Amino acid sequence: MKTKTIEPIKKIYGNISLPGDKSISHRAVMLGAISKGRTSARGLLDCDDCNYTIRAFRDMGVNITKEGDVTLIEGVGLRGLKRPASPIRVGNSGTSMRILAGILAGQDFKSVLEGDQSLSKRPMKRIVEPLSLMGADIEAASGDFPPIRIRGGSLKPIDYRMPVSSAQVKSAVLFAGLYASGVTTVEELVKSRDHTERMMKYFGADIKVNGLKVSLAGGRELDGKAVEVPGDISSASFFIAGAVLLKDSRVTIKNVSINPTRSGILSVLSRMGARVKVLNKVDAFEPYGDIEAEFGPLKGIVIEEAQIPGMIDELPIIFVLASLAKGRTVIKGAGELRFKETDRIISMKENLENMGGSVIVGKDEMVIDGVSQLDGAGLKSFGDHRTCMAMTIASLTAKGESSIDDVECVNKSFPGFFEILEGLKK
């Protein structure tokens, strides 16, 4: 495991473009594979997680090749996948495992989904239950954890009210709904990211969204499409935070996804008083634009539970922002962070307290009191890409040198993170 030393810097400055959005990349591969005809995806994210999804479909007979920054997917249609010769391994990718389960539930063969040690501790009952209601023969080890064993077959539509808002669970049910005879409806408590709904409609699915309800009529074949994958706002958030926190900094990030169900961090930054704006907006099937951020003082705010799904992946860097804001930040209903690659509440609390931050974790909320400056310290990534990148930005602002262990974990979502950051340092 590689440990990286992080020295504090004066500022970051410049214009950058980022790799494609991870969530959109996963779905482009999945929908392209089960559509008829060719899908060309420009800007698909080349990272560990997305590559596991690509390998899974190659193992099921889908021809996927790359020509420069374009990924070509020769779709086989809804019923054209072949039984894989061995268990499908998805590494640490929860998105791959949960959504693939929905697709595999509709196939006429047996399959097994396996994850690495970390993923094997993440809950899967949340997808097993609704897919079982649809008629799938599916089980997880000990009832809740990978591996997942699936005997695919005929599915029936359901009306499903989700107990916890989750884009992965919603997507698993909707993908299974493609194989059901009739209309499958999913209702959320709070709106989660809607990449699946947007992209299914773009590929020709009969899908309707009415507030918190999504309805999908199964049985319709999809058609391959040309997909432009915008930059990942989760990846952008680290550079935005660096610009906001370091004096005299300014960064412009080109062509970033500003999907309203994913851009909650922009609302948080605005309420904290940050100097961040979106320019050159394009209203495509996934809206995108350029994000400009510059240094300015921040203030503490209250983040309500209903806002959490729109910024769930950005919470680690929001914890860093809150630690250096004036006053108190209260974050409510962030318990889902305990079920990520690591328990991100614990990982961030431990690291920030090692740097002199103040983080109090209650039953239903977190309270962060801002400090004027963090101190350099020995930090742990906990093998979690977002914890690692968030603490890297915190270290740039600190007084004194820091070190972070196991930095290779950033390859899960952002292999070029440190190289792009190095190019911005001034």
Residue 233 in tokens: 């706002």
Location of structure tokens 């599916």 = 138
**Identified catalytic residue from 69, 313, 343, 384:** 313
Task: Say which DSSP state 87 is in.
Answer: P
- Residue 116 CA to residue 114 CA, distance in Å, equals 7
Residue 374 in tokens: 């963090």
Burial of 362 (0-12, 13-18, 19+ CB in 10 A): exposed
- Residue 25 CA to residue 383 CA, distance in Å, equals 22
Location of structure tokens 């990030």 = 253
Asked if 368 and 353 touch (Cβ cutoff 8 Å), the reply is no
- Residue 264 CA to residue 282 CA, distance in Å, equals 18
Query: Where is 423: in which H helix or E strand?
Result: helix 417-424
* Catalytic (active site) residue 21: no
Query: Where is 149: in which H helix or E strand?
Result: strand 145-151
Find, among 60, 237, 89, the residue nearest to 152 by Cα: 60
| Residues with catalytic roles | 313
